[in-house]
Amino acid sequence: MSALERSLRERFGARLRVDHPLAELTSFKIGGPADLFLLAEDEDELAAALTLARRHDVPAFCLGAGTNLLISDRGIRGLVVKLGAAFGAITIDGVAVSAGAAAQFGDVARLTAARGLAGLEFGEGIPGTVGGGLVMNAGAFGGEMARVVTAVHGVDQDGARRRLPSEQIGFAYRRTSLPRGFVITRADFHLAPGDTAALDARVREIHARRLARQPRDLPNAGSVFKNPPQAFAGRLLEAAGLKGVRQGGAAFSECHANFIVNLGGARAADVRALIDLARDRVKVQTGITLETEVRLVGEW
Ligand SMILES: Cc1cc2nc3c(=O)[nH]c(=O)nc-3n(C[C@H](O)[C@H](O)[C@H](O)COP(=O)(O)OP(=O)(O)OC[C@H]3O[C@@H](n4cnc5c(N)ncnc54)[C@H](O)[C@@H]3O)c2cc1C
Tell me, using a 6 A CB cutoff, whether residue 62 lines ligand 1.
Answer: yes
Rounded to an integer, the average pLDDT of 214-231 is 94
Q: 130: CA distance to ligand 1 center in Å? A: 8
Q: CA–CA separation, 178 vs 133, rounded Å?
A: 13
Could you give all domains of the chain from N- to C-terminal order, each with its CATH number?
Answer: 3-83 (3.30.43.10), 89-213 (3.30.465.10), 233-297 (3.90.78.10)
Q: Is the pLDDT confidence value at 12 over 90?
A: yes
- Radius of gyration (C-alpha) of the chain in whole angstroms: 20
pLDDT in tens, 92-134: 999 999 999 999 999 999 999 999 999 999 999 999 999 999 9
pLDDT confidence tier of residue 1, bands split at 50, 70 and 90: confident
Q: What pLDDT score was predicted for residue 297?
A: 98
pLDDT, the chain, mean:
97
Tell me, using a 6 A CB cutoff, whether residue 100 lines ligand 1.
Answer: no
Q: What pLDDT score was predicted for residue 104?
A: 98
| Helix axes 105-114 and 196-213, enclosed angle (nearest 10) | 150
DSSP-assigned beta bridge partners for residue 61: 80
Q: pTM of whole model > 0.95?
A: yes
pLDDT in tens, 130-184: 999 999 999 999 999 999 999 999 999 999 999 999 999 999 999 999 999 999 9
The helix/strand/coil state of 284 is helix
Q: CA–CA separation, 82 vs 84, rounded Å?
A: 6
Q: Where are the alpha helices (DSSP H) in 16-104?
A: 43-55
Q: CA–CA separation, 183 vs 141, rounded Å?
A: 27
- For residue 127, the ligand 1 atom closest to its alpha carbon is 17
